[in-house]
A and B are shown apart, each in its own frame.
Chain A
Amino acid sequence: MHRRMIGVMFVCLCVFQIPLLAQDFKLFDRNIQIHGFATQGFVHTNDNNWLTMYTSNFGSGEFSDFGANASTQITDKFRIGAQLYDRNLGGIGRWYPSLDWAFAQYKFKPWFGIRGGRVKTVVGLYNDTQDLDFLHPFALLPQSMYSIDVRDSTIAHDGGDLFGDIRLGSKYGSLSYTAYAGHRSNSPHGGVAYLINSDGLVFKSLAGLQYGGDLRWQTPLKGLLIGASRLNQLNTNSYVYNSPGGPIPINSSDNADWINQFYGEYTWKKLLVDAEFRRSWDDTGTPGVNESQINVHAWYVAGAYRIIKRMQVGSYYSSYWVSFPIPNLVPAGTGHDYDKVVTGRIDINRYFNLKIEGHFIDGYGYPAVSPIGFYMINNPQGLKPNTNALVVKGGFNF
């Protein structure tokens, strides 16, 4: 119902060109800004069902999200704000709204500030902006790194950040840093919960301490940015096994999960090129009891070119490789996901955009353990090694 409403609204707004302007009003003598966004997508695949949608017949339009935020500047250095986010992606999200971010920020100096509350976690180029479709040329960011179904594993923490920008002079560019620590939790409507529930278990929680940092250098070479991120997580996983004899609660604690990510971005006139490498390590099970590790190597190279003011074309190659105690005889396609992508984006005006994208995917990761868009429950007939997908997505923001 919500999806239909958003779809109808979107079409009306596009067709009739109703100007949407950000709301800026006064409350208790403070300027309050209201902004929002929404997207509606459609995905068709030739074989496997993808991203928890049933995409392989006609296709699926269960691919929507929206967000809205309010913020105000209390003093020169102090601001507060919050954003709600809601989505429906096949079996994920299901229109349960979440508090995306809500924090207070105090900037003592350009080179030092603090923020506290629920804060988006900075990892790599796009972790904190991966939901903001209108910022990116692609309908789907490289799934090897920004897997849309398990976004909540890294998306935000309840805690604090230290941050700042340090100018090094025209000869040396500038440095931006973020250091953070807090508690994070997976959504009960996210991909990990979906996987656990599809195994006949009942997901309760997956949460724990998250801490790390990001350092990025805007080099003196105009348009070139390079950086590195580190994220650490300690997780406790709780779920229930409904045995014939009654429900059995199961708890497990991970030793230490981590992500190392290195990235670079270069913009020159109408050209954008970026690349990232991520190595992640995920302990599963209980230390000393049923411990095992998931070792992921992921990288991508992407390029986009704005051919005219309102049109951009782009392409990327995304590689995901997972190592796990996999049985010797495994079907082709297991353990990797190599995605070749071409895209076209049209900016209808300042507020609306439309993207058309083709994915040519070799492999499906290791769906039973480390999901990357493919789930056995959506593919009971078994997964085929290759998937071609067409993604059409429209969005607006104000």
Chain B
Amino acid sequence: MKNATKYLKIFIATASLVPLMVGAANAGNVKIIANPSVKADSISSAELRSVFLEESSSLRDGSHVEPVVSKGGGAHSAFVRDYLGKTDSDLQNYYRTLVFTGKGAMPKTLSSDEEIAAYVAKTRGAIGYVSSEMSAEGVKTLAILGMENDGSRKLITRVEPVYPSTLRTNHIGGTVRLKVTIAPNGGVEAVELMGGNPVLGDAAAAAIRRWVYAPAPSKTVNEVTIPFDPNR
């Protein structure tokens, strides 16, 4: 009887973990791939949404793009949920509404990551998504840009930079602009100074490396601006 209770407890504990394990397996990580004819090296989450919902067919640098979608799978579910804010059936209905009211076309739909990668590689302007673990040849991977406050990666822990005392006493200030690469787990992977005083930039970068963002299915790149005001 005692053993039976023990095994029942083990069974319940194991069973309760199954949905979590399946969820984790299904979530997967996504990377955005594009045909080499696409000039851009990055795409913002707002642009991704706009392109895949057929509101726009070009990126901000003028690159023409044509979305390619998948029929299903972990990468598809994660992409649709995280970047388009929809379920698969919502997305199908969205495209059908466009098609049957004449306001848009059904995007190219393929069955697997391999098919998507092959199609994107050979089709000018094509842009699609595949599992981040997949190695795709003949395509370029676009970094996903999220602006600091656009909600694409929520900042959970923010550490304020230390103002270098020499600069503050000499009333040297200004705004620095940095490109922050954030890992899927929310940690800051790299910080690159894009503009502003290099000493202030170093101080800002040191702080940003300790920031923690919300987890996301794939690596993203945020632009961050930090003002240094010697009078404050």
Q: Mark A67-91, 1 if CB is under 8 A from B, else 0.
A: 1010101001101011100000000
CB of A334 within 8 Å of the partner chain: no
- Bitwise, B55-91 to A at CB < 8 A (1) or not (0) is 1111000001000000000000000000001010110
Number of A-B contacts (CB under 8 A): 66
- Within the complex, what minimum Cβ distance (angstroms) separates B146 from chain A? 10
Structural contact, B93 and A135, CB atoms closer than 8 A: yes
Q: Which of B46, B87, B96 contacts A132 (CB 8 A)?
A: B96
A37 at the B interface (CB under 8 A) = yes
A110 and B90 contact, Cβ closer than 8 Å, known pairs A105-B102, A169-B150, A222-B85: no
Contact assessment for A267 and B90 in the assembled complex, using a CB-CB cutoff below 8 Å: yes
Q: Is the CB of B102 within 8 A of A83?
A: yes
Q: Name A residues whose Cβ lies closer than 8 Å to a Cβ of B.
A: 22, 33, 35, 37, 67, 69, 71, 73, 76-77, 79, 81-83, 101-103, 105, 110, 115, 119-120, 128-129, 132, 134-135, 165, 167, 169-170, 222, 267, 269-270, 306, 350, 397
Say yes or no: A69-B102 contact (C-beta < 8 A), given A267-B90, A306-B89.
yes
User: A103 to B96, Cβ gap below 8 A?
Assistant: no
Q: Are B100 and A35 in contact (CB under 8 A)?
A: yes
- Whether A167 and B102, one on each chain, are in contact in the complex, defined by CB atoms closer than 8 angstroms, is no
B19 contacts A by Cβ under 8 Å: no
> In the complex, how many angstroms separate the beta carbon of A310 from the nearest chain B beta carbon?
10
Task: Give every chain B residue within 8 A of A165 (Cβ-Cβ).
Answer: 55
Distance, CA A397 to CA B85, complexed state (A): 25
What sequence of 0s and 1s flags, for each residue 91-108 of chain B, a beta carbon within 8 Å of any chain A beta carbon? Answer: 011001101111111100
Which residues of chain B are near A79, meaning CB under 8 Å?
A: 104-105
B46 near A69: Cβ-Cβ < 8 Å: no
Find chain B residues with CB under 8 A from A102 CB. Answer: 102
Residue of A nearest to B105 (CB): A33
- As a 0/1 sequence over residues 20 to 59 of chain B, the CB contacts with chain A under 8 angstroms (1 = contact) are 0000000000000000000000000010001000011110
Give B5 Cβ to nearest chain A Cβ, in Å.
Answer: 33
Task: Choose among B57, B104, B149 the residue that contacts A77 (Cβ–Cβ < 8 A).
Answer: B57
Chain B interface size, as a band, is: 20 to 34
Within the complex, the shortest CB–CB distance from A309 to chain B, in Å, comes to 8
User: Would you mind naming 11 contact pairs between A and B with Cβ atoms under 8 Å apart?
Assistant: A33-B106, A35-B99, A69-B100, A71-B105, A76-B57, A76-B64, A101-B101, A132-B96, A132-B100, A165-B55, A170-B150
A76-B58, A110-B56, A165-B55 given as contacts; is B96 within 8 A of A120 (CB)?
A: no
Q: Which residues of B contact A306 (CB under 8 A)?
A: 89
Q: Per DSSP, are chain A's interface residues mostly helix, strand or loop, or mixed?
A: strand
Provide the bound-state CA to CA distance between A35 and B103, in Å. Answer: 13
- CB closest chain-A residue, reference B96: A135
Task: Note all chain B residues with C-beta closer than 8 A to A270.
Answer: 87
Q: In whole angstroms, how far apart are the Cα atoms of A126 and B89 in the complex?
A: 17
Residue pair B102, A71 in contact (C-beta under 8 Å):
yes
Q: Which residues of A contact B99 (CB under 8 A)?
A: 33, 35, 69, 71
Instruction: Please give me the residue from chain B that is nearest to A128 by CB atom.
Output: B101
Q: How far, in angstroms, from A209 to B92 measured CA to CA in the complex?
A: 35
Interfacial chain B residues near A101, Cβ < 8 Å: 101-102
Q: In the complex, how many angstroms separate the beta carbon of A281 from the nearest chain B beta carbon? A: 27
Q: Which residue of B lies closest to A102 (CB)?
A: B102
The reply to whether B50 and A110 form a contact with Cβ atoms under 8 Å apart is yes
Q: Could you say which residues of chain A place their CB within 8 Å of the CB of B50?
A: 110, 167
Residue contact B46 to A37, C-beta cutoff 8 Å: no
Task: Determine the residue in chain A with the shortest Cβ distance to B89.
Answer: A306
Chain B residue with the shortest CB-CB distance to A164 = B55
Pick from B87, B97, B106, B149: contact of A129, CB below 8 A. B97
CB of B64 to closest CB in A, whole Å: 6
- A residues in contact with B92, CB < 8 Å: 350
User: A22 and B106: CB pair below 8 A?
Assistant: yes
What's the Cα separation between A48 and B57 when bound, in Å? 52
- Given contact pairs A132-B96, A135-B93, A170-B150, A103 touches B102 in the complex (Cβ within 8 A): yes
Binary flags per residue of B144-165, CB closer than 8 Å to A gives 1, else 0: 0000011100000000000000
5 more CB-based (< 8 A) A-B contacts, given A76-B64, A397-B96:
A22-B106, A35-B100, A83-B100, A128-B101, A170-B150
Contact present for B55 and A110 (CB under 8 Å): yes
For the complex, what is the distance from the CA of A35 to the CA of B104, rounded to whole Å?
12
A40 to chain B minimum Cβ distance, whole angstroms, is 18
Residue of B nearest to A104 (CB): B102
- B96 contact set on A, CB distance < 8 A: 132, 134-135, 397
B103: which A residues are within 8 A, CB to CB? 105, 115
| CB-defined contacts of A35 to chain B, threshold 8 Å | 99-100, 106
- Using Cβ atoms and an 8 Å threshold, which residues of chain A touch B104? 79
Residue of B nearest to A269 (CB): B87
Residues of B within 8 A of A81 (CB): 102
Q: Taking A33-B105, A105-B102 as contacts, is the C-beta distance between A170 and B151 under 8 angstroms?
A: yes
Contact of A120 among B58, B89, B101 (CB under 8 A): B101
- Measured in the bound complex, the distance between the Cα atoms of B98 and A33 in whole Å is 12
What's the Cα separation between A263 and B104 when bound, in Å? 24
Q: Are B100 and A129 in contact (CB under 8 A)?
A: yes
Chain B residues lying within 8 Å of A119, measured Cβ to Cβ, are 102
Tell whether, in the assembled complex, residue B90 and residue A73 are in contact, meaning their CB atoms are under 8 Å apart.
no
Report if A135-B97 is in contact (Cβ < 8 Å); known contacts: A77-B57, A105-B102.
yes
Residues of A within 8 A of B64 (CB): 76
Residues of B within 8 Å of A69, CB to CB, are: 99-100, 102
A103 to B102 CA separation, bound complex (whole angstroms): 8
